[in-house]
A and B are shown apart, each in its own frame.
With several copies, the nearest count.
Chain A
Amino acid sequence: MKLLYFAWLRQKIGLGEETVSPPESASTPTALVDWLRTRGDGYALAFSDISAIKVAINQEFASFDDPISDGDEVAFFPPVTGG
């Protein structure tokens, strides 16, 4: 599973992109985040308040309860501020 992090999430985690093999239980972004938090302080800090974060699955805005599986690209980022 390909993961991407943007803006302050990228900074807190310390990388913008990684390929991971989460446990099968990580079948939604919420469950994936629970697993990611165990991977280090940067992750725990980045994902401390999930309400401040958006998720995209395969480059489309998604919900934290949507299903995800191994081939998906999952991106986490703060609310956008372009324009």
Chain B
Amino acid sequence: MAIRVQRPIFDIGVELSDLTADNPRIGGLCCFTGLVRDMNNGDAVATLTLEHYPGMTHKQLAKIEAEANERWALEASLIIHRYGTMLPEEPIVLVAAASAHRHDAFAACQFMMDYLKTDAPFWKVEDTDQGARWVDSRDSDATAKARWRDRES
């Protein structure tokens, strides 16, 4: 289990390779990366800046990762979330879950992303050709999280 909150860019290949190294019990690895898009709601996005609540961020991400490890039999898990200013195509977040079998890896990875989207204290502001604007939260994120409440896995 590992959580990292950082400003610098990360290398997905290196992170995944470190995560699974020397663990031959891993049969499946699922990972998700969120990337900066160059358009949002019809406007061109020049940069995306993420602000966060340092005292709370690590605590919330660790809680999400711990709950995923309670729900599923994971061999390894990882959440990396960046803050600061990023350009289109840069990665913002990396969530990964490794397990003996694929179902646990997929479910845990998606669970962590869905919870992160509603529970991790990050806020996005876009610098667009219409000026800077705070990104609105999406109702679909609350719905995605709620799905997990009623099911075991």
A interface with B by C-beta (< 8 Å): 4, 6-8, 10, 56, 59-61, 73, 75, 77-83
| Category for how many chain B residues contact A | 20 to 34
Chain A residues with CB under 8 Å of B117's CB are 80, 82-83
**B52 lies within 8 A of chain A by Cβ:** yes
CA distance A76 to B52 in the complex (A): 12
Q: Which of A56, A73, A80 contacts B123 (CB 8 A)?
A: A80
- Comparing B16-24, B53-61, B68-76, the segment that makes contact with chain A is B53-61
Q: Which of A7, A75, A78 contacts B56 (CB 8 A)?
A: A75
- A6 and B93 contact, CB distance less than 8 A: no
18 other A-B residue contacts (CB within 8 Å) besides A6-B123, A8-B134, A80-B137: A6-B52, A7-B125, A10-B51, A59-B53, A73-B55, A75-B53, A77-B121, A78-B123, A78-B134, A79-B118, A80-B117, A80-B119, A82-B50, A82-B117, A82-B120, A82-B122, A83-B92, A83-B120
- B137 and A79 contact, CB distance less than 8 A: yes
CA distance A73 to B54 in the complex (A): 13
Min C-beta distance of A71 to chain B, whole Å: 14
**B30 lies within 8 A of chain A by Cβ:** no
A–B Cβ pairs within 8 angstroms, 17 of them: A4-B53, A6-B53, A6-B121, A6-B123, A7-B51, A7-B134, A10-B51, A60-B56, A73-B55, A75-B53, A78-B123, A80-B120, A81-B137, A82-B50, A82-B121, A82-B123, A83-B117
Q: What per-residue 1/0 map shows which CB atoms of B109-128 lie under 8 Å from chain A?
A: 00001001111111111000
Q: Which of A6, A59, A78 contacts B59 (CB 8 A)?
A: A59
CA distance A83 to B113 in the complex (A): 7
From B83, which residue of chain A is reached at the shortest CB distance? A82
| Chain B, 61-93, CB within 8 A of any chain A CB | 81, 92-93
From B116, which residue of chain A is reached at the shortest CB distance? A83
Chain B residues with CB under 8 Å of A4's CB are 53
Chain B residues with CB under 8 Å of A61's CB are 119
Q: Which of A56, A73, A75, A80 contacts B122 (CB 8 A)?
A: A80
